[in-house]
Structure 1
Amino acid sequence: MQTIITTRSEFSLTTQLDMFNRRIWVQDYKVNDATALRCFLLDLAKKQNLEKIIFPVKEADLPLLQGEEFQLEGVINGYFQGSNAYFLTTYLSEKRCNSSSLLREKQMLEKILGQPREYKLALPKKYSLEIATSRHAKKMAELFKIVFKSYPTPVYDPKYLNEAIQKGDLYLVCCDGDTLAGVATAEIDWKQNHAELTNCATHPDYRGLGLNTILLKRLEESCLAKGINCLYSLARASSYGINLILHRLGYDSQGTLINNCHIAGDFENMNIWVKPAYDKNK
């Protein structure tokens, strides 16, 4: 991934060019001329042959930036140091903006939202939870390879995982002796004071034990203890299990990012789930 910083009188912009997922993600911005900013992003995407732009904007800027090509797909409460982010997107490919599975996934989500918010945290005695260090990187990479046919970030690479740990992301692993049974991550943005709960993977031999629920809840508690202002997760809309877990843990459904990333072999829709840290009882 390549990060580009652009500074002009009309705007300043930090963008991530994500060639694997064929998208631009706006990481930071200031705007004086909304039209100039939108045109720049569209031109950049066309030049790089990318198919989607994801642009989280502040509430005050929403009337300026929404409309024409850029439409709202979701909201993350507390994303900008406690203030809401409105996820505007646009598509440069007809195929990328259409999803044949969207209706079916929305029907499944409605069923999930009707389920009670109850969960169990019963880790079998022989298992242990550990904050991952560099010594876990190789085993985590191997587990990600087993679970995911493709993944939006290079989690198959132990070096990438080690660098993520060193910069402050929390990787929590569940071990059965020397065997890695499961892993989940809190990717922390210390500048904006939010964390994305992600990289949930359970070895096929250990499914059905509720490990994802335990890992995510413990990561949530660790983030809250560090004063993280906002917790959210982008869950595969096709996965009944992970969406049900997040609902049971008290996360709210806040939209769907269409064909957001390449995971498990194809582009998939991702549901937005949000739990602001100030609402500790949800």
Structure 2
Amino acid sequence: MQPDAVINLGNSVVQHGPANDRVYLLKLDTDDLPEIVDEVYELGREHGYSKLFAKVPAGEAAHFAARGFIDEARVPGMYKGKCAGYFMSKYLDQNRAVPKDIGRITRVLDCADRKSPTPKDEIDTHGVVRLKQENAGELAALYDAVFESYPFPIQDPAYIRQAMRDHVIFFGIVEDGRIVAAASAELDKSWRCAEMTDFATLPDHRGRGGAGKLLARMEKSMQPLNIRTAYTIARAESFGMNIVFARAGYSFGGTLHNNTQIGGKLESMNVWHKEIPAS
């Protein structure tokens, strides 16, 4: 499946395309307000997408609410540690606004809510390493083995190398000389936040706490970078990933309905967030 395109509208960054069937305002430049809201709508209408999606500071949310966007999730302190970040959506097809399996989503959250946080000193991060440009080929192969499809082209070594040069730090668990699990921290230094994402583990290495180890190592690496808030957008029907973040002390911020195409289908996503203490 062809990945969605990432383009500029004014000085803002937008992803759009048929894979996720949406327009996603990834990075808002406030100088583009208020016109950017209508430009996102027109882009969605022109291509017949069923959802518009925007990540915006709380102070700018009114521009989007006035055009019919609703906030599906909030992350306190996401914007420079000073105010919340809002994930706002507008549905151009109301069928997409209804989660496919709300019962399972509820069960996942109930299960995650019952999990007690794991003390950091009990998490062994031995074997977790920061990956480099020369690991891009093996890393892409791991993602290709784990995901049938993904919202960003992480199965492409060239994309991974470019992401590393730009703003993404990849980490991996290495056993017997090969990468068996990986994840990334996507930095937004202007907002002073990071998205903990791209978790993947080879099938024969699952059930060993790898995701929790990766997350603990990534959090530690954020402190000297002056990152104040970590968050994730996790598959809402996945018991495993939601439990990983609950155990790591993250708080639930909301559910994004039918938001992201993974593995050949649209999935609802849960937002989790955590304050990163100053180093």
TM-score by length of 1: 0.88
Q: 2:8 matched to which residue of 1? A: 4
Query: Is the Cα contact below 8 Å between 2:20 and 2:261 reproduced in 1?
Result: yes
1:169-199: per-residue Cα shift (whole Å, max 9, x none)? 1111111122211101001112222110001
Maintained 8 Å contact 1:15/1:24: no
Task: Name the CA shift for 1:168/1:29 in 2 (closer, same or farther; >3 Å).
Answer: closer
Q: Look up the match of 2:85.
A: 85
1:193-249 Cα deviation digits (max 9, x unpaired): 211000101111111111110011100110122111211011111110110010000
| CA distance in structure 1 between the partners assigned to 2:165 and 2:102 by the alignment | 37
Residues 65 and 5 of structure 1: is their aligned pair in 2 closer, same or farther, counting only changes over 3 Å?
A: closer
What is the CA distance between 1:122 and its match in structure 2? 3.3
More off after superposition, 22-31 vs 131-140: 22-31
Is 1:100 the counterpart of 2:96? The answer is no
Alpha-carbon distance in 1 for matches of 2:67, 2:110 = 29
SS in 2 for 1:2: strand
* Matched residue SS, 1:260: strand
CA contact (8 A) 2:151 2:262 kept: yes
Residues 1-282 of structure 1: matches in 2 within 5 Å?
1-6=5-10, 14-19=12-17, 20-26=19-25, 27-30=27-30, 38-66=37-65, 69-82=68-81, 83-118=83-118, 120-122=122-124, 128-278=127-277
Aligned amino acid, residue 21 of structure 1: N
Counterpart residue identity of residue 15, structure 2: L
One-letter amino acid matched to 1:122: D
Match of 1:10 in 2: none
C-alpha separation in 2, matches of 1:168 and 1:39? 28
Contact 2:7 2:15 in 1 (8 A): yes
8 A contact 2:73–2:88 mirrored in 1: yes
Q: Provide, for residues 37-72 of structure 1, a one-character-per-residue CA deviation record: whole Å limited to 9, x for no partner.
A: 544332221012222111223323334432562111
- Structure number with greater Rg is 1
RMSD: 2.2
Counterpart CA distance in 1 for 2:31 and 2:222 is: 31
CA 1:57/1:122 → structure 2, altered by over 3 Å: closer, same or farther? closer
Q: Deviations over 1:5-31 (max 9, x none)?
A: 23xxxxxx6241321312222221437
8 A contact 2:167–2:188 mirrored in 1: no
Once the two structures are TM-superposed, the CA of residue 254 in structure 1 deviates from its matched residue by 0.3
**Partner Cα distance (2:67, 2:37) in 1:** 10
Change in CA separation of 1:128 and 1:59 when aligned onto 2, cut-off 3 Å: closer
How many residues are matched? 270
Asked whether the equivalents of residues 111 and 239 of structure 2 are also in contact (C-alpha less than 8 Å), the reply is no
Distance change (3 Å), C-alpha of 1:190 and 1:104: same
Give the counterpart letter for 1:219 in structure 2.
M
Distance change in 2, residues 1:37/1:164 (3 Å): closer
SS where residue 259 of structure 1 aligns?
Answer: strand
- Inter-partner Cα distance in structure 1 for 2:184 and 2:68: 33
Shift of 1:160: 0.6
> What's the offset of the Cα at 1:78?
2.2
**Are the structure 2 counterparts of residues 243 and 197 from structure 1 closer, same or farther at C-alpha, using a change threshold of 3 Å?**
same
Specify the code of the residue in structure 2 equivalent to 1:17.
Q
TM-score normalized by the length of structure 2: 0.89
**Maintained 8 Å contact 1:31/1:37:** no
Aligned residue for 2:28, secondary structure, equals strand
Work out the percentage of aligned pairs sharing the same amino acid: 26
Amino acid at match of 1:53: L
Unaligned 5+ runs, structure 2: none
**Residues 1:171 and 1:66: Cα distance change in structure 2 (over 3 Å):** same
Q: Deviations over 1:63-95 (max 9, x none)?
A: 443256211100012222222112210111233
Letter in structure 1 aligned against 2:54: F
CA distance in 2, matches of 1:31, 1:276: 28
